[in-house]
């Protein structure tokens, strides 16, 4: 079953707080009940993969200003049928930043988030069950944005909230603080 790897990773994940715990439970249920959970065409929602990319000095996070949503987020995107969500997150991070030398800090899930994608001219409103992994990259290598982003920036952890103060982004910064990535 294509979902076994993700279900195993989800079952190993320990949510950070009550909000993530609820989204983790919702994601476990969604993946267990939907064999096509990795397909973008699944109208109720689908699994996506994201990369929380930090620099090797552990002082910066890489954010992209999303073209369609007009907000700053971590790189990430649709699985398009791929069940290896770590692979999806890495591919999306490379495509959206132009960085090829990105390495996974761990193969374990870093964060789980469920968020509503608003309706647009191509699709109805739906949910993204976003599986996030922690990656590391060299912040000295030039970034190359693609058509999905308006801008890319290495942002000091202490300033991430100035770009996006949503609970899901703040939660990832808080996880970094507890993980001793901050000085």
Q: What average pLDDT does range 167-182 have in this prediction?
A: 80
Contact 78, 40 (CB under 8 A): yes
Whether residue 120 has pLDDT greater than 50? yes
Q: What average pLDDT does range 120-125 have in this prediction?
A: 83
Percent of the chain with pLDDT over 70: 97
Task: Name the residue among 87, 90, 88, 53 with its Cα closest to residue 73.
Answer: 53
Structural domains of the chain sorted by starting position, each given as residue range(s) with its CATH number in brackets: 4-178 (3.90.79.10)
Q: What is the tens place of the pLDDT at every residue in 68-86?
A: 778 899 999 999 999 999 9
Please, what is the end-to-end C-alpha distance for the chain in angstroms?
A: 43
Residue 141 binned pLDDT confidence (cut-offs 50, 70, 90)? confident
Residues 6+ apart with CB under 8 A from 58: 176, 181, 182, 183
Token pair, residue 88, equals 């999806």
Q: What is the tens place of the pLDDT at every residue in 13-31?
A: 999 999 999 999 999 999 9
Average the pLDDT over each of 55-59, 97-101, 105-109, 134-138 and give the range with the smallest value.
55-59
Report the pLDDT value the prediction gives residue 68, as an integer from 0 to 100: 76
């Amino acid at each position: 079953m294509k979902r076994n790897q993700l279900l195993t990773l989800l079952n190993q994940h320990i949510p950070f707080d009550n909000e993530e715990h609820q989204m983790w439970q919702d994601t476990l249920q969604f993946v267990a009940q939907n064999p096509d959970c990795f397909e973008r065409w699944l109208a109720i929602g689908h699994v996506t993969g994201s990369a929380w990319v930090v620099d090797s000095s552990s002082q910066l996070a890489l954010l992209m200003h999303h073209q369609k949503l007009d907000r700053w987020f971590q790189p990430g995107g649709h699985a398009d049928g791929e069940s290896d969500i770590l692979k999806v997150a890495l591919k999306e991070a490379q495509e959206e930043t132009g960085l090829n030398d990105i390495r996974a800090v761990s193969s374990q899930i870093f964060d789980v988030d469920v968020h509503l994608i608003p309706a647009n001219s191509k699709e109805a409103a739906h949910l993204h069950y976003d599986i996030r992994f922690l990656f590391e990259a060299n912040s000295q290598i030039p970034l190359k944005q693609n058509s999905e982003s308006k801008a890319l920036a290495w942002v000091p952890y202490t300033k991430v909230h100035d770009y996006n103060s949503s609970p899901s982004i703040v939660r990832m910064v808080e996880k970094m603080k507890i993980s001793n990535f901050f000085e």
